């Protein structure tokens, strides 16, 4: 593959992935409003289009047309930088995620993954340290929130962003530790390599996903830490509206506010992607042999979408169910329960892996 074809293929993949991701983000908001509405015995959005399906579009137009206030007392440059940083960091992680296997189109074969390539032998490969890059991008996402609160020069914003960043860094350690158990079994940091390590099945039925190979504690830790990372209920203290108005984006309006909003939902999608890649086998799933081959080629994408949808629904479900933590409870839970549990999981997993070898 020449350099030019490589670049064109990469650009096409980026355009499609980014378009799909932004659509998913918009419709996750719709889904959340609809599902939470039904859980609370309301209809949710129902006026704009059938089932309120055009609601995200209407919201988008509204965000564009609203007055964008930049209060005079803010640190202008950093105030402008913060939402962009939050959104870009939230979107970029998707570039590392293996969405599907190798596809062959117009004489070019390439994996459905922005950073994936096919080598001379026809084997797909991606970045060796892909997982760590995702973690790195996540850790840079803290800046968007911290800088937003600091530059706003408002008490609510500052307290909200301090809370948010302290919470994110506290749970980041447990998040990283919970993934080590999977790495012990997969022996690779490449995300597509991790998916390949989960491809086989027991008795041809039960998939050998890491969740079923003893990593359920890690999965539990990962999900809790991920909820805290994305500032979602029950860990949405940074935006606890009863105490902090809107937290770190109190002073933001119109499109800049919308960027924080999109960043939150894009982060949810990323977290769901990593969870399904690490614990639920990514795009692997049962093959359905009676379907025509052309349809079968799309099955991995269907499985992956189904897994992502499951996680997004879980987010919404929990939002409709649980109340909010208190801040001291949140910190104690992260440092005194989740962290030692994650460490114990690593040691126990290592013991079993060493014993079997």
Site for other proteins in 154-193 (CB under 8 A): 154-159, 161-162, 165-166, 169-170, 172-173, 176-177, 180, 183-184, 187-189
Shortest spacing between CB 35 and other proteins, in angstroms? 27
Among 259, 268, 269, 277, the residue binding other proteins under the rule CB under 8 A is 259
Q: Which positions from 262 through 291 interact with other proteins, judged by CB under 8 A?
A: none
Among 24, 135, 274, 280, the residue binding other proteins under the rule CB under 8 A is 135
Q: Which positions from 23 through 52 interact with other proteins, judged by CB under 8 A?
A: none
Nearer to other proteins, 240 or 318 (CB): 240
Shortest spacing between CB 40 and other proteins, in angstroms? 27
Shortest spacing between CB 26 and other proteins, in angstroms? 13
Q: Which positions from 298 through 327 interact with other proteins, judged by CB under 8 A?
A: 327
Shortest spacing between CB 278 and other proteins, in angstroms? 13
Nearer to other proteins, 137 or 275 (CB): 137
3-state secondary structure the chain: CCHHHHHHHHHHHHHHHHHHHHHHHHHHHHHHHHHHHHHCCCCCCCCCCHHHCCHHHHHHHHHHHCCCCCCCCCCHHHHHHHHHHHHHHHHHHHHHCCCEEEEEECCEEEEECCCCEECCCCCEECCCCHHHHHHHHHHHHHHHHHHHHHHHCCHHHHHHHHHHHHHHHHHHHHHHHHHHHHHHHHCCCCHHHHHHCCCCEECCCEECCCCCCCCHHHHHHHHHHHHHHCCCCCCCHHHCHHHHCCHHHCCCCHHHHHHHHHHHHHHHHHHHHHHHHHHCCCCCCCCCCCCCHHHHCCHHHHHHHHHHHHHHHHHHHHHHHCCCCCHHHHHHHHHHHHHHHHHHHHHHHHHHHHHHC
The stretch near other proteins (CB under 8 A) out of 42-50, 218-226, 285-293, 340-348 is 340-348
The stretch near other proteins (CB under 8 A) out of 108-116, 204-212, 272-280, 284-292 is 108-116
Nearer to other proteins, 143 or 313 (CB): 143
- # residues contacting other proteins (CB under 8 A): 97
Q: Which positions from 55 through 84 interact with other proteins, judged by CB under 8 A?
A: 63-69, 71-73, 75, 78, 83-84
133 binds other proteins (CB under 8 A): yes
């Amino acid at each position: 593959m020449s350099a030019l074809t490589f670049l064109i293929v990469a650009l096409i993949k980026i355009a499609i992935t980014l378009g799909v991701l932004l659509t998913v983000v918009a419709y996750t908001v719709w889904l959340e409003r609809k599902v939470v509405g039904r859980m609370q015995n309301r209809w949710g959005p129902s006026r704009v289009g059938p089932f309120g399906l055009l609601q995200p579009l209407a919201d988008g137009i509204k965000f564009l047309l609203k007055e964008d206030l930049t209060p005079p007392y803010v640190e202008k440059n950093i105030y402008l930088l913060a939402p962009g940083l939050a959104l870009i960091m939230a979107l970029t992680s998707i570039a590392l995620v293996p969405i599907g296997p190798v596809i062959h189109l117009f004489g070019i074969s390439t994996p459905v993954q922005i950073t994936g390539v096919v080598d001379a032998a026809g084997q797909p490969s991606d970045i060796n340290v892909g997982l760590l890059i995702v973690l790195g991008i996540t850790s840079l996402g803290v800046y968007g929130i911290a800088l937003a609160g600091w530059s706003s020069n408002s008490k609510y914003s500052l307290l909200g962003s301090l809370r948010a960043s302290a919470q994110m860094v506290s749970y980041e350690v447990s998040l990283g530790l919970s993934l080590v158990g999977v790495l012990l079994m997969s022996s690779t940091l490449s995300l597509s390599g991790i998916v390949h390590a989960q491809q086989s099945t027991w008795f041809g039925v039960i998939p050998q996903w890491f969740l079923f190979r003893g990593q359920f504690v890690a999965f539990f830790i990962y999900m809790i830490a991920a909820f805290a990372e994305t500032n979602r209920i029950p860990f949405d203290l940074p935006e606890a509206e009863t105490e902090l108005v809107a937290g770190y984006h109190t002073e933001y309006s119109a499109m800049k506010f919308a960027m924080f909003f999109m960043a939150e939902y894009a982060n949810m999608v990323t977290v769901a992607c990593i969870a399904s890649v690490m614990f639920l086998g990514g795009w692997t799933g049962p093959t359905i042999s009676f379907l025509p081959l052309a349809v079968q080629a799309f099955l991995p994408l269907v499985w992956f979408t189904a897994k992502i949808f499951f996680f997004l629904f879980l987010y919404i479900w929990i939002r409709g169910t649980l109340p909010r933590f208190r801040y001291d409870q949140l910190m104690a839970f992260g440092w005194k329960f989740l962290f030692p549990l994650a460490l114990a999981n690593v040691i126990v997993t290592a013991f079993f892996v060493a014993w079997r070898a």
